[in-house]
Every structure is written in structure tokens, then in C-alpha cells.
Amino acid sequence: MNAYDLHSAAGSPADLPSAFRDQMQAQLGPEFADFQQILSTPAPVSIRLNPRKPVYDTTNLNPVPWCNDQGPVQGFYLAERPSFTLDPLFQAGAYYVQEASSMLLYEALGQSVNLNRPLRVLDLCAAPGGKSTLLASALSADSLLVCNEVIRSRVSVLRENLEKWGYANVVVSNHDPEEMGNLAGFFDVVVIDAPCSGEGLFRKDPDAIQEWSEANVQLCSARQKRILDAAIPLLDERGILIYSTCTYNDSENLDNVRYLTENGFRNRPLIFPPEWQIVDKYVDNSVGYQCYPHRVQGEGFFISVFQKMSFTAAVKLDARTFRSIRALRPRETTTAMKWLENPASFSFWEKPNGDVMALPKGLEKTFLFLDSAFRNKGFGLEMGQFKGQDFIPSHALALSTEINRQLPAIELSKENALRYFKKENLVLDEPLKGWLLARYNGLNLGWVKGVGNRVNNYLPKDWRIRMDIKEYV
């Protein structure tokens, strides 16, 4: 079963470790009873829409209060949890399933930076991509988003989620934050959604209860400080650092707020309407913000914003490092351009492995620099490869919001869309030839190639859904 489809097994408050109980009783006082009671109810289900794939019908859905401004980041609560895996709109990147409290990042970002100007943003602890897809939607098209995940096995899901989201100004990398020193002073914004003890997820993920211990809290707190230490030099002077966790304890939240203010950062207060019921938590003169599940329709989440007040000499983009990548020749460029809706906004390049990349104009130098700075990475718009005279389009291109909307396509029924995601070859009424986009509700799902009445299915093997679709078709 896909993680998105896990039913929110109601956690039993009786299972709560006694040290955690004591901590929360001390933190919440008379509210503790409400907090404990809410943990035995099902977690709310919420989704965030992809503004560039606007097909989801939100009639009668209640909006998430902090993602409700008709802007590019809109969140909604669902009345119940459907099978997301078996929803072709989910597979096509029309929305992301995200717990509502974590969408508060959008409000924190909007209050801290000018989202209309080009920014270089690093999401340092990015998998599976909830914050990354939110950031991609919130940032201007001429911004650059680097989504980094240290654990290699989690990078593929991050990539998959970002490919579905379909933005071209995104880079995925796989580094320990401590290995990123070659990007000193490079970023305007660094988001650290830190690995934590997960106290805020006890209702959604009862396993987190079993894993909790005071010793683990201390381990997490020490790891978070190491991540902060590595992140600090990556920010430009005056850059913004956003720190968040899905936990409640002071060692992982307020202690790190204090740590940052002692290490060259100024804390930046945020203002939330009182009806959102978010709690201000102070340490010295600094403040962070806590969502509690008995106060908000969401899980436990902490967020705090900082501005870097110290100077770091910024890395220079060095043209000598670009040698491994070549610009496409004019004839190849003409071919590549045909696949994009606004080809004039891109320039075209080929990597040594043959992957053709479309890079947003104006960002080329930055992209190419990152290509040389990172060992293991992927770019948002890897278009495909030339094979002799032919161009073989990539799955990422099919899902890209930049793809040419006039390319040949077939609209699939829900049944055929699910068969597509099972990687079955489809039998259709009319004979078809060549590359075609498989679509559902007007959204691209991927490629098929017509050979007579049959179409071959080019869904990447790893993307195939394993769930039984029988009762849905």
C-alpha cells in the first residue's frame, strides 16, 4: 500500500509514554485533556493544489485557513480519505496530499520574503517533497529551488513527486548538508524541515509513539544543531532561514531558536490571526509558532523564522566548471523546441550521458554551476534523449507544465488511466502511430507509442502502481 493511502489509525492515548505525557501536561496545563482526547480521533485529510494543473473540483471543500488567499498555494480539507494511489489526478500531479499544519510554511514565507522577486531557495531536508512542492508553487518562475535529501533511498520519491509537480526551475540533490560547503553564501532562503522525534504525528502515525524516547529527543536535538551548523554558511547575508519540526518539545524547538540567535541570526516574528489558534512560544526575546491538533485542524507543527546578520563571502559561479555539458547544435535545438509550449524561454543543453535539458533563460549559469557542484542530482526539465534522428521524450517532459499543449494526445477513461498506471498496454478503438501523451481530465499522465490498434506503455517501471485496481475498473 502506498504511504498516501495509510488510514489514520487513531492512536491510543493510553499508549503515550509517561515522560511524554508529563512533558505535554507541563506544556499545556488545563488544555492537556483536550490534547489527549483529540489523539484518539482520526487525523483530518488535506490536499494542496498544483496551480499549474488546475483541474481539481474544490466545490464544497473547506479551505485550510492559511492557504486560502486565491494565491498559488491553496489547501483544502477532504471529508474522507480516498485511495490517492488510484486517483489519476493525484498521479498526474494535480495535487499533493499534505497535512494542513505544515502548509503554514506558505504564510511564514510570504511574511518574510518578497515572493515576486527571483530567489535562490534551498529545501535542505526535502523528501518526500511536501515543502518542496509548496515552495515550487509559491516562488516566482525566475527563482531557483534546490531540493536536497541526504538519504539516498528517499531521493527517488522526492524526484518522483517533483516530476509530477512539473516545474522547470527545480534541482534535486542528494547530499549530507555538511558536504554542501561549496555553496557558501549562495542562497537567499534556506528551509530546514528538520528530522525530529515526530511527537506531532502521533495521531497520524502511531509507530512514532513506539519510537519516542527522551534519549531519541536528545539525539534529534543534537542532529538538528549539526544541520543548522552546516546550513548557516550557505545563506547570504540578510538571507532568511525557516526552521520547522513536527514536534512539541523545547529541546528540538525553542533550544534551536536560541541556538540560531546565538549564532548570528535575528529572529523574525510573524503575525497570525487569533482565530487560527496558533500558539506563540517564546524563548528570551525570540518566538516560534506551534500548531496543536486540539486547536487547529491539523497535526503538531512548529515553525520559526530568522534572518542572517553575519557576512559570508559568496561563492563565484565559475565558468570553467561547465565543461561537461554542451549546448545543443542549431538543428537539435529546433527539434527540442518543438516539444515545449514556450521554447523561447529556454536554452537547450546535453549532458555527457545524453540527457537533453531545457534550462530557463537567465538561470543557465546558476543551473550549470549546480550541475558541477552536486554529485548526484536531477534537473526539473530533463527532456529526453536523441537516438539517431529521433528524439525520445522523457517521462518528466510528459508531466512538465512546460510541455507543448498541441502535441498529439489521447484522452483516457478512468479505467484506462488506471491500466496505464499498472503499466498495461492499452487496446484502443482507432489505430494510432508514434508518440502520444496519455491524458486524463486533460492532464498528461505519461507517454504511449501507437503501433496499430495497440499502444505501448512508456510509464517508467518504478512508477507502476502495485495496488489491485479490479474494484475500480
Rule CB under 6 A: say whether 223 interacts with ligand SAM.
yes
With CB under 6 A as the contact rule, which of the stretches 72-80, 123-131, 301-309, 351-359 interacts with ligand SAM? 123-131
With CB under 6 A as the contact rule, which of the stretches 29-37, 70-78, 148-156, 248-256 interacts with ligand SAM? 148-156
Rule CB under 6 A: say whether 195 interacts with ligand SAM.
yes
Minimum distance from CB of 149 to ligand SAM (Å)? 5
Minimum distance from CB of 455 to ligand SAM (Å)? 34
Contact (CB, 8 A) for 177 and 194 = no
Q: Is 105 exposed, middle or buried (0-12, 13-18, 19+ CB in 10 A)?
A: buried
Sign of the CA dihedral 105, 106, 111, 114? positive
User: What b/e sequence results for 291-317 when a residue is b if at least 16 CB atoms lie within 10 Å of its CB, and e otherwise?
Assistant: bbbbbbbbbbbbbbbbbbeeebeebee
**DSSP alpha helix (H) spans, 43-171:** 88-91, 104-112, 130-138, 152-165
With CB under 6 A as the contact rule, which of the stretches 65-73, 126-134, 318-326, 331-339 interacts with ligand SAM? 126-134
What pairing do the DSSP bridges indicate for beta strands 409-411 and 326-327?
Answer: unpaired
Rule CB under 6 A: say whether 225 interacts with ligand SAM.
no
Contacts of 340 (CB under 8 A, 6+ apart): 346, 358, 402, 403, 404
Question: What is the CA 70 to chain-centroid distance, rounded?
Answer: 20
Minimum distance from CB of 243 to ligand SAM (Å)? 12
**CA neighbor of 2 nearest in space, from 472, 464, 353:** 464
Of 177, 300, 380, 393, which lies in the binding site for ligand SAM, with binding defined by CB under 6 A?
Answer: 177
With CB under 6 A as the contact rule, which of the stretches 46-54, 150-158, 263-271, 377-385 interacts with ligand SAM? 150-158
Minimum distance from CB of 143 to ligand SAM (Å)? 18
Sign of the CA dihedral 195, 201, 202, 204? negative
**Distance from C-alpha of 163 to C-alpha of 176, rounded to nearest angstrom:** 22
Binding mask 154-173 for ligand SAM (x = CB under 6 A): x-------------------
Contact (CB, 8 A) for 374 and 150 = no
Beta-bridged to residue 457, according to DSSP, are 448
Minimum distance from CB of 189 to ligand SAM (Å)? 14
Question: What is the CA 256 to chain-centroid distance, rounded?
Answer: 23
Is residue 147 helix, strand or coil?
Answer: strand
CB closer to ligand SAM out of 130 and 450: 130
CB closer to ligand SAM out of 302 and 435: 302
CB closer to ligand SAM out of 301 and 349: 301
Rule CB under 6 A: say whether 126 interacts with ligand SAM.
yes
Active site members: 246
Binding mask 255-294 for ligand SAM (x = CB under 6 A): ----------------------------------------
Which residue in the block uniquely carries the three cell numbers 530546514?
A: 192
Beta-bridged to residue 49, according to DSSP, are 95
Rule CB under 6 A: say whether 449 interacts with ligand SAM.
no
Rule CB under 6 A: say whether 150 interacts with ligand SAM.
yes
Half-sphere exposure of 230 (CA within 13 A, CB side): 20
With CB under 6 A as the contact rule, which of the stretches 55-63, 83-91, 120-128, 206-214 interacts with ligand SAM? 120-128
| Structure-block grid coordinates of residue 223 | 542532529
Minimum distance from CB of 470 to ligand SAM (Å)? 31
**DSSP alpha helix (H) spans, 64-203:** 88-91, 104-112, 130-138, 152-165
Rule CB under 6 A: say whether 129 interacts with ligand SAM.
yes
Minimum distance from CB of 263 to ligand SAM (Å)? 17
Of 125, 234, 325, 412, which lies in the binding site for ligand SAM, with binding defined by CB under 6 A?
Answer: 125
**CA neighbor of 180 nearest in space, from 235, 262, 244, 256:** 235
Of 6, 9, 19, 151, which lies in the binding site for ligand SAM, with binding defined by CB under 6 A?
Answer: 151
With CB under 6 A as the contact rule, which of the stretches 9-17, 119-127, 181-189, 266-274 interacts with ligand SAM? 119-127
Minimum distance from CB of 234 to ligand SAM (Å)? 12
**CA neighbor of 69 nearest in space, from 53, 52, 89, 49:** 49
Of 128, 166, 200, 239, which lies in the binding site for ligand SAM, with binding defined by CB under 6 A?
Answer: 128
Rule CB under 6 A: say whether 227 interacts with ligand SAM.
yes
Minimum distance from CB of 163 to ligand SAM (Å)? 15
Rule CB under 6 A: say whether 149 interacts with ligand SAM.
yes
Rule CB under 6 A: say whether 130 interacts with ligand SAM.
yes
Contacts of 338 (CB under 8 A, 6+ apart): 404
Residue ranges that bind ligand SAM, judged by CB under 6 A: 125-131, 149-151, 154, 177, 193, 195, 223, 227
